[in-house]
Structure 1
Amino acid sequence: MADDEEQPGGPARQRIDKWLFFARLRKSRSLAARSVEAGDVRVNGVAVRQPSHAVRPGDLVVLALDRHDVTVKVLASGARRGPYEEARRLYEDMTPPPPPRGERTLFAQATRERGSGRPTKRERRETDRLQDFSGDADE
């Protein structure tokens, strides 16, 4: 019996790498397996490192992508990698919305007070002039 078929007495289970590929959360099954092995996937709050880990409907999967994390609830196991509309029925997106643009986040642009930090070109020239007058008259 294949691991993605309905088993008597319980919901269908499927390998996490296969499910990520079928749900179109990863471009290929090998990329899905690599992200699982790298520790980028958590199932029900537990880090998963084996691509053969089985997921079933009701599991909560958190996938760390390049710039954000995606949180999805598994609704069904997939039979194939179909079009987006078919893949979308495999999960419910539970990712929290991004914060408003004006709100400070971890990756927000840092600001500084004018005049603090690195000196401007004008300030550097003034400093150089002061240093030239201070003790270089002997040369």
Structure 2
Amino acid sequence: MRIDKYLWCVRYYKTRNIATEACKKGHIKVNSVVCKPSRVVFPTDKIEIRKNQINYQLSILDIPPNRVGAKLADLYRKDTTPAEAFENSELLKFAKDYYRKKGTGRPTKKDRREIDDYTATNSTEEE
């Protein structure tokens, strides 16, 4: 079975077209090699998927005959993604939280002074 069809069948991507685009962009690796969407996969192959800033790692257990339900997807793949990958994604969410709301415009004079004070104290600590 093709890799794009397999990823669609085990519900890692909502459509085959999205899975195909991920392969073309180099987000999918089979046995540590970037692959084309037409790459044929077999049981015991290892797949690495870069999706939503998480590197998923899968092992193919069996090839499904067609798209399967979410509850049955675990019969055909084994997810070996380390827990640290999900913890890193949680940290990224906190890193994106700014004290200013998006779209509020340029920093005010007070914000600018605070930024200048902060950068000035950090530059003197490094020296």
Identify the residue that residue 10 of structure 2 maps to in structure 1. Answer: 23
Task: From the CA coordinates, give the structure whose radius of gyration is larger.
Answer: 1
Aligned partner letter, 1:75: L
Question: How does 1:17-56 map onto structure 2 within 5 Å?
Answer: 17-48=4-35, 50-56=36-42
Aligned to 1:120: 114
> Secondary structure in 2 aligned to 1:83?
coil
Q: Deviations over 1:35-91 (max 9, x none)?
A: 11111000001111x211011010100000022111000101111112112222110
CA RMSD of aligned residues (A): 2.8
Which portions of structure 1, spanning 4 or more consecutive aligned residues, are displaced by more than 6 angstroms? none
Provide the C-alpha distance between the structure 2 equivalents of 1:35 and 1:99, rounded to a whole number of angstroms: 19
Alignment correspondent of 1:83: 69
Structure with the bigger percentage of helix: 2
Give me the TM-score of the superposition, normalised by structure 2: 0.67
For structure 2, which runs of at least 5 residues remain unmatched after alignment? Answer: 96-111, 118-127
For residues 86-128 of structure 1, what are the alpha-carbon distances to aligned partners after superposition, in whole Å with 9 as ceiling and x for unaligned?
2221100000102796x9x98474xxxxxxxx6329x7xxxxx
Question: Which amino acid in 1 is paired with 2:113?
Answer: P
Contact in 1 for aligned 2:20/2:37 (Cα 8 Å): yes
TM-score by length of 1: 0.62
What residue is the counterpart of 2:81 in the other structure? 95
- List runs of 5+ in structure 1 lacking aligned partners: 1-13, 110-117, 124-139
Matched-pair identity in %: 27
